[in-house]
Structure 1
Amino acid sequence: MKRLAEKSLLTWAEHPKRKALIIRGARQVGKTWLVENCLAKQFERVVKIDLESQPQFHAAFAGELSPKAMLNAIEPYTERILPGQTLLFIDEIQACPRAITALRYFYEQLPELHVVAAGSMLEFALGEYSVPVGRVQYLHLSPMTFYEYLLAMGKNAAAEMTLEHPREHSQATVDALHEQLRDYFFIGGMPEAVATYRDTGSRLEAYDVQAQIVTSFRDDFAKYRPVVNSACLDAVFEAAAKSVGQQIIYTQLYAQATGKTNHKAFDLLCRAKLFSKICSATPSGLPLGHSQGKRFKAAMLDIGLMQHVCGLHPAMAVGNHDLMAIYRGQMAEQFVAQEMLAWHSESLYYWSRATKGSTAEVDYLAIHDGKIHPLEVKSGPAGRLRSLHRCLETYPNCEQGWVLQQGPYQELPEQALVFWPLYATAQLGNRQRLPL
């Protein structure tokens, strides 16, 4: 399966002044596969050490952290490691925090050696053992985007259409692409689930894979540091999945724990990359993070896993053509957040205002060519977009509002609105994270 991050890996490998590369991302998004099946092809030999399943390699990082000393300790168990010819792949690096510290010395003393690291619980180790700024390079890997999913399913033409401007797309094209998107809503972008659906054509088998992935996430809860009761983590995990698109209130996530404990549990789930925290912000100028408010909502790692945790059986995909109505519209909001985070930015914001007697909220704030576009995800005519109109009236610097819906592309200049088909979400930003 083609992953767009492959291009970033090749760019890193060819750079004459490369640093050690750390691939970040949640469990089972394809970090190890990406290295072994894409990057490894560029080298004469690959030496992989797994610091979780091969603890004998911990000794290589226990003493002097010079590249020569470390390689001398590794090579008795592997083949020769030759700079310029060998890729040294350190997997599950979080199992040996000293190895994280060691990465800087490869850059400083042996930059000609290609060193890449990954790990399923890496974010917790990075929080405890900081790596000096400028000594390593990071690559974030998300689940497969809708574009990557279509490529994996052999629908290359459809994939390219999602990145074309939809102005010229016929109604038949719009409907066909949204039919493909309906499948993606239920299969999601976890590589194993996508591969299973591609190979078997069975939503049920993909659903079973999703169940295994969710179980593996829950099995990891006992490893989280600092420790939070597993029952609380499990409850917050499920409650947050069912609350996508809604304001999160800690005390309502798990009634048997305090708001403070739920807060800690949710933060740990975000650190594990299972959820992203989407904060409210004022769209008066950039960067949006400078005006970040206290209100926030969440997006889950993957839309397929979300539907599984929420109890949406694959049979619901058959004949359910209204994407905006599935699970009260929350699936559509999850899709948009997931695409925006994968393509455009590691941070996503929305607008919320509560005044006496009224509230207003715009689902997301998109940034394109230095301009802020309030973005709504919903069906219905423009007259029902009261919050979006209020946002545009309040912030004149927001010159145009965007609406993602299940219909064709449409411009309403008199209302400063543009309606985009939902499948075109990848186009609504600067595409900073995934190169084509």
Structure 2
Amino acid sequence: MYMRRKIDRFLSDWKLDNDRKPLIIKGSRQIGKTESIRHFAAEHYESVIEINFVEEPKYTMITADGYKSDAIIKNISLIDPTKKFIPGKTLLFFDEIQHFPDIATSLKFFKQDGRFDVICSGSMLGINYRRIESNSVGYKKDYIMYSLDFEEFLWAKGYDASLHDDLLGAMLELRPFSEPEMAVYRSLFLDYCVLGGMPAVVKQYIESGIFEGSLDTQRQLIEDYKEDIRKYADGVDQTRIINVFNSIAPQLAKENKKFQISKVASGARFHTYRGCIEWLTDAGIVNVCNCMNFPELPLKGNIDPDKFKLYFSDSGLLVAMLDDEAQDDLRANKNLGVYKGALYENMVGEALVKSGCELCYYKRDDSTLEQDFFLRTSNSLVPVEVKSQNGRAKSLRTLISSEKYADIRFGVKMINGNIGYSDHIYTFPYFCTFLLREFLKAGTFDEEKDL
């Protein structure tokens, strides 16, 4: 069963571009990159030359005579003469290129040649990407792929593209969902919360219709990530990276979700662990939410590099890290327990990243003022608050009403409830988060500051 993905449209548009460049698809392990590329290739090419540098290390020899396309094609054909290179009808698919980043040097020559399309992919590309970038700058196009977002999960469940327009239309019209709609969407979103978006987990659930086995699959993914850390990280950093990884879930469960290095290990210091966090970020395992120096525009450069929160890039990884008792309650009763705030905040952060946003938050040192996330329109900074219960949003109201925060004119509150609007605060259900960026682009807002 092939699950429709958003990269499908991107790949089709890329193929239609007459001046297309070789494509590099980045993303963490087991999010469906290879499957999507194969699906696309089977529909669009007469010949597909797939080379996996992990499974077939002998192909690292194909650059022995240089990086020009003719030399590489000759050496591929020497290794396997059954591979057919048909000009204009062939895709070369180089997979797991983190094991052979030198192949990126050839992209310039394949672009200049123009006879064959090239797609590269790999599960740990971020770690080696500076080297890949320097070898192919100006001659490739990048695409970042993630695990399934909520919309892709709905597609897997059988819903069609019209649901996107229905949900966004309700948000733009501020039209509350009916009780049947809320019941269905909430149930689907809770299933997605439990499962996360890793294709193996979702596919298992779709095919069986039950959660049985999903936890084992999630925990195996966790072990696979730890094995990657042991494989790709150097020396003592392996232990430190795993310690950071193991510390994310318990720190998210606390009221103060700022990530504290001192909680990772006895005597841990920020300067010795900074590289570990960068490693996990480059590997696509975590999303970093940086603390703003002050809530104002522009966002670029307006962060404190020593203060941040860490979220899992896929909430299924967070779920897999919960203790057995919490797992049983979660799957049997859909009760999120003490992790409710952590899971919803992780879900919102994950959805924002998957829709193309960078994460940032604000915590004022001399007060309790704190805001979970920030987005922006062309003129306004937009605070986003995640509420595990639909209570008052004191910090959000302060940011909107105070003359200190001139760039903030309205805000958004994500809740386990329906659509609403009051006092310059838009309220939306969690399951609408994947549309929040589109809402801000398409909507018309009163951006006059009330003072």
Structure-2-length-normalised TM-score: 0.88
Q: Distance in 2 between matches of 1:296 and 1:359?
A: 17
Q: Give runs of aligned pairs for residues 60-209 of structure 1, distance below 5 A.
A: 60-76=62-78, 77=80, 78-107=82-111, 109-129=112-132, 130-156=134-160, 159-160=163-164, 161-166=166-171, 167-209=175-217
Query: Does the CA-based 8 Å contact 2:47-2:84 persist in structure 1?
Result: no
| Comparing 189-198 and 423-432, the one that deviates more | 423-432
Q: Find out whether 1:399 has 2:434 as its counterpart.
A: no
The aligned counterpart of 2:333 is 319
Give 2:270's match in structure 1, choosing from 259, 263, 279: 259
Q: What one-letter code is carried by the residue in structure 2 that aligns with 1:100?
A: A
Q: Distance in 2 between matches of 1:259 and 1:292?
A: 17
The aligned counterpart of 1:305 is 317
Q: Distance in 1 between matches of 2:334 and 2:218?
A: 20
Give 1:332's match in structure 2, choosing from 344, 349, 355: 344
Q: Give runs of aligned pairs for residues 404-419 of structure 1, distance below 5 A.
A: 404-412=414-422, 415-419=423-427
| Comparing 181-190 and 126-135, the one that deviates more | 126-135
Pick closer, same or farther for the CA change 1:189–1:215 going to 2, 3 Å: same
Q: What one-letter code is carried by the residue in structure 1 that aligns with 2:319?
A: Q
Q: Distance in 2 between matches of 1:128 and 1:44?
A: 32
Gaps of 5+ in 2: 441-451
Q: Distance in 1 between matches of 2:130 and 2:414?
A: 37
1:47 aligns to what SS in structure 2?
Answer: strand
Q: Distance in 1 between matches of 2:380 and 2:332?
A: 39
Pick closer, same or farther for the CA change 1:111–1:430 going to 2, 3 Å: farther
Identity %: 27
Q: CA deviation at 1:171?
A: 2.9
Q: What one-letter code is carried by the residue in structure 2 that aligns with 1:106?
A: F
Query: Does the CA-based 8 Å contact 1:90-1:118 persist in structure 2?
Result: yes
Give 1:343's match in structure 2, choosing from 333, 338, 355: 355
Q: CA deviation at 1:271?
A: 1.2
Gaps of 5+ in 1: none
Q: What one-letter code is carried by the residue in structure 1 that aligns with 2:155?
A: L
Pick closer, same or farther for the CA change 1:314–1:22 going to 2, 3 Å: farther
Query: Does the CA-based 8 Å contact 2:390-2:417 persist in structure 1?
Result: no
Q: CA deviation at 1:159?
A: 4.6
| Comparing 160-169 and 42-51, the one that deviates more | 160-169
Q: Give runs of aligned pairs for residues 352-431 of structure 1, distance below 5 A.
A: 352-355=363-366, 358-368=367-377, 371-380=380-389, 384-392=392-400, 393=402, 394-412=404-422, 415-430=423-438
Q: Distance in 1 between matches of 2:346 and 2:189?
A: 13
Q: Find out whether 1:13 has 2:15 as its counterpart.
A: yes
Q: CA deviation at 1:227?
A: 3.8
Pick closer, same or farther for the CA change 1:381–1:70 going to 2, 3 Å: closer
Q: Distance in 1 between matches of 2:185 and 2:85?
A: 48
The aligned counterpart of 2:284 is 273
Pick closer, same or farther for the CA change 1:91–1:310 going to 2, 3 Å: same
Q: Distance in 1 between matches of 2:20 and 2:102?
A: 21
Query: Does the CA-based 8 Å contact 1:251-1:262 persist in structure 2?
Result: no
Q: Distance in 2 between matches of 1:151 and 1:292?
A: 37
**Coordinate RMSD, CA, aligned:** 2.2
Pick closer, same or farther for the CA change 1:59–1:420 going to 2, 3 Å: same
The aligned counterpart of 2:50 is 48
Query: Does the CA-based 8 Å contact 1:24-1:119 persist in structure 2?
Result: yes
> For 1:303-353, what per-residue CA distance to the aligned partner results, in whole angstroms no more than 9, with x for missing partners?
1111111334154233336x6x660411000110111110132x2111221
Pick closer, same or farther for the CA change 1:340–1:235 going to 2, 3 Å: same
1:118 aligns to what SS in structure 2?
Answer: strand
Q: What one-letter code is carried by the residue in structure 1 that aligns with 2:437?
A: G
| Comparing 156-165 and 215-224, the one that deviates more | 156-165
Q: CA deviation at 1:240?
A: 1.7
Q: What one-letter code is carried by the residue in structure 1 that aligns with 2:308?
A: F
Q: CA deviation at 1:176?
A: 2.1
Structure-1-length-normalised TM-score: 0.91
Q: CA deviation at 1:169?
A: 1.4
Pick closer, same or farther for the CA change 1:158–1:256 going to 2, 3 Å: farther
Query: Does the CA-based 8 Å contact 1:366-1:372 persist in structure 2?
Result: yes
Query: Does the CA-based 8 Å contact 2:50-2:92 persist in structure 1?
Result: yes
2:224 aligns to what SS in structure 1?
Answer: helix
